[in-house]
C-alpha cells in the first residue's frame, strides 16, 4: 500500500479507531473503563504489547513466507502474543509492583484482547512494510487508549448522575460507546 506513515497513524487513531470503528478490544473496553486511573495504564500496557506483537509478527511473517509455512501463521502469532504478555508481566512486576497489582487480572487478559491479535492480522493482510506496521500498531494502541480514557471519563461522571436503574451497567456503557462511535465517524477521510 502507498499510504504514508502519518496517514496510517492518524487513521488508526481516529478515523478507523480500533475500538469504536473496528470493534477490536471491546472486552477490556467495557470491563476496565470504569475508572480513569486504571483505564490509562491499561491502555499504555496494551499499546506496548501491540508494538511488541507487531514487531514479532512482521518478522515471523517473513520467516513463514520464506519457508512456505503460511498455515502456521495463526498459531505462531498467538504464541508470540502470549509470550509478549508474559514478558510485560515480568517487567512490570520487577519495575513497578504497584502498577502490577493495580492492573491485577487484566494484565494476563491482554492475551485475549482481540486488538493485539487484530494488529498482527491486519498488518499482514494489508501487506504493510516495517515502518508502516510500527506506526499502525502505535496508532492503534493510542486509539485504544484514547477510547478507553474517553469512556472512563464519561463513566466516572455518570456515577454521579441519575441513570435509570434498568440502564445501569453494561447497557449504559454500550449506548455511550455508540455515541462515541458516532462522533468518531466525523473523522472519516482525515489523513487522506
Partner 1 sequence: MSQQTVSTLDEFMEGVWRQNPTFVMILGMCPTLAVTVSAMNALSMGISTALVLIASCWLISMVRNIVPKEVRIAVYIVIIATFVTVVDYAIQAISLELYDALGAFIQLIVVNCIILGRAEAHAAKNPPIAAMINAAGMGVGFTIGLLSLGVVREILGAGTLFGVSLFGADFQPWVVMVLPPGGFFVLGSWLLLFSTLERRKQRKLVEATQNA
Partner 2 sequence: MNVEALVPQTTPTVAMIRTLGLLSAICGLIIVASYQGTYAAVQENKRIAVERAVFKVIPTAKSIDEYIASPDGAVTKVGAGGTASPGAVKFYAGYDAAGKLAGIAAEGAAKGYADNVRILFAYDPVAGTVASFSVVASRETPGIGDKILVNKDFLENFPLEAKLSADLKTLAHEIRTVKHGSKANPWEVDAISGATITSRAVGKAINDAAQALLPRIAPQLDKLKEKSS
- 162-192 burial code (b ≥16 CB/10 A, e <16): eeeeeeeeeebbeebbeebeeebeebeeebe
Measured between alpha carbons, how far is 116 from 24 in angstroms, rounded to an integer? 8
Q: Does 105 bind partner 1 (CB under 8 A)?
A: no
- Measured CA to CA in angstroms, residue 67 lies from 54, 79, 165 at distances of 20, 18, 58
Show the site string, 56-95: x = touches partner 2 by CB under 8 A, - = not.
---------------xx--x--------------------
Site residues (CB under 8 A) for partner 1, limited to 138-167 = 165-167
Q: Does 172 bind partner 1 (CB under 8 A)?
A: yes
Nearer to partner 2, 37 or 129 (CB): 129
144: nearest Cα among 48, 1, 3, 5: 48
The C-alpha cell of 4 is what?
504514508
The C-alpha cell of 145 is what?
487508549
* Member of 30, 44, 55, 99 binding partner 1 (CB under 8 A): 30
Q: Does 2 bind partner 2 (CB under 8 A)?
A: yes
**Residue 160 interaction partner, one of partner 2, partner 1, none, beta carbon < 5-8 Å per kind:** none
**Residue 163 interaction partner, one of partner 2, partner 1, none, beta carbon < 5-8 Å per kind:** none
Q: Which residues bind partner 2 (CB under 8 A)?
A: 1-3, 11, 16, 21, 71-72, 75, 126, 188-189, 192
Amino acid at each position: 500500500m502507498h499510504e504514508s506513515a502519518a496517514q496510517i497513524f492518524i487513521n488508526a487513531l481516529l478515523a478507523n479507531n480500533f475500538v469504536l470503528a473496528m470493534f477490536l478490544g471491546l472486552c477490556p473496553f467495557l470491563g476496565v473503563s470504569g475508572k480513569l486511573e486504571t483505564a490509562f495504564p491499561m491502555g499504555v500496557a496494551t499499546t506496548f504489547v501491540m508494538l511488541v506483537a507487531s514487531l514479532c509478527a512482521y518478522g515471523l511473517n517473513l520467516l513463514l513466507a520464506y519457508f512456505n509455512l503460511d498455515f502456521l501463521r495463526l498459531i505462531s502469532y498467538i504464541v508470540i502474543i502470549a509470550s509478549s504478555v508474559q514478558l510485560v508481566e515480568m517487567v512490570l512486576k520487577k519495575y513497578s509492583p504497584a502498577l502490577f497489582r493495580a492492573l491485577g487480572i487484566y494484565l494476563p487478559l491482554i492475551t485475549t484482547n482481540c486488538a493485539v491479535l487484530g494488529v498482527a492480522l491486519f498488518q499482514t493482510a494489508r501487506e504493510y512494510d516495517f515502518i508502516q506496521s510500527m506506526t499502525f500498531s502505535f496508532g492503534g494502541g493510542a486509539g485504544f487508549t484514547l477510547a478507553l480514557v474517553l469512556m472512563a471519563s464519561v463513566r466516572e461522571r455518570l456515577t454521579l448522575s441519575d441513570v435509570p436503574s434498568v440502564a445501569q451497567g453494561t447497557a449504559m456503557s454500550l449506548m455511550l460507546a455508540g455515541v462515541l462511535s458516532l462522533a468518531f465517524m466525523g473523522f472519516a477521510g482525515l489523513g487522506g
